Structure formats: structure tokens, C-alpha cells
Amino acid sequence: MSKHAPTEMGLFSPVILRPAILQAFRKLDPRSLARNPVIFSTALVCVLATVLVIREGLTGGPVFWIGLQIAIWLWFTVLFANFAEAVAEGRGKARADAFRSTRSSSLAKVLVDPANRVVYGTKEVELVEPGEVILIEAGDIVPTDGEIIEGVASVDESAITGESAPVIRESGGDRSSLTGGTRLVSDWLVVRVTARQGETFLDRMIALVEGAKRQKTPNEIALDILLAALTLVFLFVVVTLPFFASWSGTTLPVIYLAALFVTLIPTTIGGLLSAIGIAGMDRLVKANVIAKSGRAVEAAGDIDVLLLDKTGTITFGNRMAHAFEPAANISERDLAEAAFLASLSDDTPEGKSIVDLAARRFGFEAAAGQGAVFVPFTAQTRMSGVDLPDGRALRKGASDTMAKLTGGALSAVVEQAVRKIASSGGTPLVVARDNDVLGVVHLKDVVKPGIRERFAELRRMGIRTVMITGDNPLTAAAIAAEAGVDDFLAEATPEAKLALIRKEQAEGRLVAMCGDGSNDAPALAQADVGVAMNSGTPAAKEAGNLIDLDSDPTKLIEIVMVGKQLLISRGALTTFSIANDVAKYFAILPALFVTAYPGLAVLDVMGLGTPQSAILSAIIFNALVIVALIPIALKGVRYAPASAASLLGRNLLVYGLGGLIVPFIGIKAIDLIVDLLHLA
């Protein structure tokens, strides 16, 4: 099984770049700008600066040339902010186009009688209503979302998930969901339609990926309010400056004040804020996870408790042979050989694991079972085995069944081995030859390799892990200890899961969990982050706020990483932006008042050429830094598990101190170029 390697476009691929440039100009629409208070304020200042420049040009004013350059770069500041958002949206739209190409425009086979597959009528996909029953046969594209009510078939979901290997979908259970745009590889299915065209999972996925339905998250809204407040503060500061200037006998051109205002307000983070949010959604899409809202992505970065199913998540889900425990006077090799021969025709994961373990341990080969008559497992006998050509009868089964077969109680050694295996959370399988017990095979629900390390990683993030299982408490405790989870919930029912989530939330914690069945739907809906498997039931997918297209429960850990990276990226660039503003203060303010207050020259630590070049250099840097930070906004700041204090320290050191130093270097370099070209 392999995935198609997705065509990953570069940040500035021509496919994205050209539409993004055009979109940057379209976003000059005031209705679009109004969604971002900082950039909207900058655009208003641009209009004012343009009017002032035109007036200066008509009247022959002394600041026309410098004012013209300031106005141009102010417009560039707005365009670059729009461009950053457009690039992020463009990447999403490119992915959406790939999904859109999988849509079916074919006719649907609508059954008149769901019990009769022969008689059906055809209908345009757009006209098919929820509740109608359709027939899908091998080679057909699934026209719309539905729930399988009859049949079992192989389905190619590569158009949605990228997975090249077909998957089995069947009626009943947790694999009954069918997604429009996939293709039937074999057999047939009778499906009850659950969504009309335009409202399918694929349609919603397209809208979310391309950002058409993206809403601001609570953190974005809070940051918008903060940035708007800072903008008002600096507006007040700038408006009052002419009064101080006139008192000291200095005249400040309005165009200079406009430049000061734009450089002091947090235009950098204001211009990148939307791009950061869109990029977070995009990173989830690359991980084959669809987020119904940005809120869920953010919440994933803040979760305190992670609930994970044992089976298929922490363990492989199949009991596997772990060891051979021979009876008294029986060698391990004899026991292994008997178990090996008795399991050669056993196609269950348990049987295959016994064959594999014995072959690896002792080098047995399948040819040893030639001519044997295999005895399959039945519910009545509760055992399986083989009758060999030499007359030996080998059997394996549960301890109580094998005790009855041998006509008495098991030996003390075997009984002790059975109890030891059961108490450790394993399953004992007794092996007998001609009614003589040879020993016990230890079947174990094997913990996935590396899962303990991943849980340790989550612990370093401050996240508590809870294993959920239907096993008895003794078995659950044994597996929990081996896996390294912080806690477990044994004999879990849907009600018990829901109660646990509510308890954690009542204590002020954010909870994440995953599920795929209808019985998981209440818990998925209650959790702050509910990850539904794409292979799961429609009820589960509707209840979750994230959908994993790979149906891999361990994806929760990756989702947490993406969420944390989103929050850290936003925090880092906000810190950088505010630090930038402090540095730009030292470039412009001394330049404005150094004539009236020569003592302010001491603040001109950059040694800039002239007051005019200082102002122009600062405004150019303010525009260019947005473009320079687009790759970081889209790729995200690298996240490594660490404590909150450590992350804060790194943020302040790299992006706080860096945000102070970079402008000094950048503005000075631009000032040298401005002087060299005599632009000011």
C-alpha cells in the first residue's frame, strides 16, 4: 500500500504567483480590507498620502518627490499584505481544484425497490435527494455521499485520500460510509444517499481547503482587537505630534506623519495574520486531515488531555504470538512445532503470528504440513488443529476447552502459565498432542513500536494521555503500563466516555479524542477536538470537527503538533512585528524632531544619512519585511516539544531580540542604497 506522492508546489510557483498578484489588487476592495483593521487603516493612510502628493505636485510643494516615494511604498505595503493572504489562499485553491476534478457528473442508478437490484431508473446526480437508494456497481464513480445498506465491495479512495490500495466498504459496522468521488473496484453496493449534490463531504472539503468558508478563530479575533487597539493608540500619538512640533517651532509635513503612523502600527503581523491561519489549515490538508473550522485546529494546539482507543491506536488490534510456555518435561521446540503445524491453515492474524514466531525461532517450514488434514475452528468445538499423516492429532484452543478435551484438569505448570499470561493482559492458547497438553502459547495485544516514545513526547508538551478500552481493568492496566500512557479507562461504554470528557472539561481542561463508530458520535461532539475517521459512519463524521482521510487514529498526535505550530507561528510573528515597531521608532522619530531638539540625535543609533532618507528607508523596510516573512508564515515556525517557559524564552530570544536587531540592519542597508541613488 502506498500513497501517491502529492505534487507539492513551491511557495512562489508561477501557478500560484500569477493569480496571487492579481488577487492582491482585487483585495483592495474596501469590503475585503475592512476585515483587517490594521491593513484597512494603512489603506486609508495610502489614500490620504496619494491626495497629499497630488496636491504637492499641483502646487509645486517641497516634499513632492519624497512624498511620492512614500505614497508608492505605502501602497506596496497594502499590496504585499494582500499578496501574502492571496498566496496562502492560492495553495488551498490549487488543492481544491485537484479535489474538484474527482466530482462525478454521471447518472445515478436509483432503485425503485431497495430489495430488487435489477430494476432501477437513472437520474442526474444533481437531482438525487437524501433518503433515495442507489445501486453502485464495479467501475462506477460513487455519485454522492451515502451509507451502505447492502453489499461489500472494494473501493478506490485514492482521489480523496491519496492511498493507492483499495479499501473494503460494507454494510453495517463502522465501515459503512461511502464518499462521493471515489470509485468501486469490485462487486456492488446498495447505498442510501445522505447528502445532495453541493452539500457532500467532497463539496465541504473543497470549500474548506480553498478558504471560501474560513471564519476567523477566537484567537485571531482577539488578536485583531488587540491590533486595532494599538492602531488607535498610535493614531492618537501621531495626531498629537503636530501640536508638540508647533510649540517647538517645527513644521511636520502630513506625509511624514502618515509614514510614521504606518511604521509604528503592527502592519507586519496585520498583513500576515490571515496567511498564518490559512497555512495552518493547509498543513492539516497535507497530513490528509480536513478541518471543519479553524477553531478545531487552534484547540488542538491547546489541548490538555488526549483520549485514544487502545485497539488499532496504541496496539495493532490483533493478538500476536509472543512466547511459548512448555509443560513439564516438554521442550519449547516440541511445543512450538505442534503449534506451528496446528496453525498452518489458520488464516486469522493470531494463527499467522504463531507460524511466524515458530519459523523465526526454530526455522520450521510450511512443507512440514504436507498431506495433513486441517481442522478449522468452529463455535461449537472452540478449537482448531491438524491431523497428520502419521496419525498424530494436534489441537489448540482456550484453556477450559482443552481441559475438557484431555479429560481432566490441566497440570499445575500449565495452570500457572495460563494464570500468569491472563494477569499480564495476554491470551493463553493451550496446545495438545493426542490429548496430551504440551504447553501454552502466549498471545499478546502488541503495543505499536515507538508509541511509548510518542507519549513521552506528548508528556513533554504538557498533554496527559488516557487509553480507552473495553478490556477488563487488569488487562487494561498491563497494556497501559507497557504503552506508557498516563491513565486508562477500562470497560468503556459510550456513556463512560462522555462522562470522562465532561469531567475533564468541568475541571477546565481541553479534551481531544478520535472515533469511527456511531457510538462514538456523542463523545466526538462533546470533545473540544473530535477526530472522525473517514472510514467511519456518517454519524461519527458529522459529529467530529476534524476528519482523518487516512483513518489512522494515531493522526491525533500529528494534529496536536500542527495546532501547536499554528499557535507558536502566530505568537512568534506577533512578537517580531511589535519588536520591529520599537526599532522603527528609533529611525523615524529622531529624524522628525532632530532640528528642533538636537539632543535627539543620540537616538539616531543607526547614523542614517538625512531625515528624509531615514523616513523613506523605514517605510521601504516596513513593506519589504512582509514579503520576507511570507515563507515563515506559510511553512510555520518549527516546533519541538518543550515546556511553556522554554518555548516562551526561545520566542523572545529569536523573534523578540531578532525583531529588534533586524530592522536596524535592514533600515541602515536601505538608507545606504537610498543615499547612493539620491532618492531622498
Enzyme catalytic residues = 309
Please state whether beta strands 305-309 and 464-468 pair in parallel, antiparallel, or not at all (unpaired).
parallel
Closest by Cα among 388, 423, 418 to 403 = 418
Strands of 152-156's sheet in order across: 167-170, 152-156, 183-184
Of 237, 239, 104, which Cα lies nearest the Cα of 178?
104
Across 101-133, b (16+ Cβ under 10 Å) vs e yields ebbbeeebbbbeeeeebeebeebebeebeeebb
Neighbours of 248 (CB within 10 A): 10
Task: Name the residue among 535, 576, 74 with its Cα closest to residue 276.
Answer: 576
What is the amino acid identity at position 286?
A: K
Residue 248 exposure: Cα atoms within 13 Å on the Cβ side: 14
By 3-state DSSP, what share of the chain in percent is helix, strand and coil, each rounded to 5?
55, 15, 30
Q: CA 550, CA 553: separation in Å to the nearest integer?
A: 9
| SS3 (DSSP) at 291 | strand
Angle CA 606–611–614, to nearest 5: 50
Q: In what order do the strands lie in the sheet with 436-447?
A: 315-326, 436-447, 427-433, 393-397, 383-387, 373-375
Strands of the sheet with 529-533, listed across from one edge: 289-291, 546-548, 529-533, 511-515, 305-309, 464-468, 487-489
How many CA within 13 A on the CB side of residue 675?
Answer: 12
Q: How far is CA 190 from CA 17, 37, 133, 181, 270, in A?
A: 45, 53, 7, 16, 52
β 120-124/146-150 pair status: unpaired
Strands, E assignment, 161-304: 167-170, 177-178, 183-184, 188-193, 289-291
Give the Cβ contact number of residue 371 at 10 Å.
Answer: 7
How many beta carbons lie within 10 A of that of residue 502, not counting itself? 14
What span, in angstroms and rounded, lies between the C-alpha atoms of 531 and 516? 9
Q: Crossing angle for the helix pair 267-286 and 201-209, nearest 10 degrees?
A: 150
Give CA–CA dist 465/456, Å, rounded: 10
The single-letter code of the amino acid at 220 is E
C-alpha cell at 398: 482456550
What is the Cα–Cα distance from 535 to 168, expressed in whole angstroms?
9
Backbone angles phi, psi at 211, to 5 degrees: 85, 5
* 3-class secondary-structure state, position 118: coil
Please, what's the b/e burial string for 441-466 (b: 16 or more CB within 10 A of its CB; e: otherwise)?
bbbbbbbeeebeebbeebeebebbbb
Q: Rounded to whole angstroms, how far apart are CA atoms 537 and 372? A: 43
CA 75 – CA 253 distance, rounded (Å): 19
Gyration radius from the chain CA atoms: 34
Q: How far apart are the C-alpha atoms of 388 and 341, rounded to whole Å?
A: 9
